[in-house]
Amino acid sequence: MLRAAAGLACRARSNTKLPQICASAARGYAAESAPEQDTTPPITVHGIPGRYASALYTSAAKAGKLEAVQEELVEVYNLTGDSPEFEQFLYDPSIPKNKKVPALNAILDKMEVSDVTRHFLEVLARNNRLKHLLNISDLYDDLVAASKGEVRAKITTAQELEPEELEDIKASLKELLKPGENLLVEQMVDPRIMGGMVVDIGDKHIDMSISSRVKKIQQLVMQTV
């Protein structure tokens, strides 16, 4: 499986839409003087994925590669969706680290990712945290957005909202923003919530779904039995 996974690197080059990074990336990385900026994560993100996302943000900010790393993470994750074989290789904890890391590096060589992204993925592989890649990538997106004064909000409903309904919700969410912040809204449809809505904005999770209410009622019933 390792040989097959490494072979995916050849196809990864043709699939990638990332800007080309010159062959002398290591030298350029050391020589470039990135503009000075605050490298502290702009918001707090929680859990194991949050800790890794925050560390990645600091490293990428110091290198002046916040958006480049963001695009590279998407490209790596998309490759797992294109190839179940690569996904299994990436997430399988039974593959020894001394075999997984070199094979992963061979793939990253073909994708020509930055040193920041390469080192970060190596750390995830060595610490057996590659399974958190999607959550880490999502939280990293939140951090990059926050650094630009953007606040991402995900609205999940059981069915598509009417334009007027969506605008009303946006207006309410904007009241939570600080001066100078801009709201970025992503709408998701999930019939499993049955009705109502679930809103994730910044580090806040607001569950107003019918499925959540049903669960609470079921818990109350079980407590009285």
Per-residue pLDDT of the chain (225 residues; tens, 9 = 90+): 544 444 444 444 444 443 343 333 334 434 444 445 689 999 999 899 999 999 999 999 999 999 999 999 999 988 888 888 888 888 888 888 888 899 899 989 989 899 999 999 999 999 999 999 999 999 999 999 999 999 889 999 999 999 999 999 999 999 988 888 899 999 999 999 999 999 988 778 899 999 888 888 888 888 876
Residue 175: phi and psi, rounded to 5, are: -70, -15
Q: How far is CA 26 from CA 61, 108, 115, in A?
A: 17, 14, 7
Which of helix, strand or coil describes residue 209?
strand
Assess contact for 170 and 151: CB atoms under 8 A.
Answer: no
Assess contact for 106 and 26: CB atoms under 8 A.
Answer: no
pLDDT confidence of residue 9: 43
Residue 34 exposed, middle or buried by CB count within 10 Å (0-12, 13-18, 19+): middle
pLDDT confidence of residue 37: 64
Q: How far is CA 13 from CA 113, 174, 225, in A?
A: 11, 41, 60
pLDDT confidence of residue 213: 85
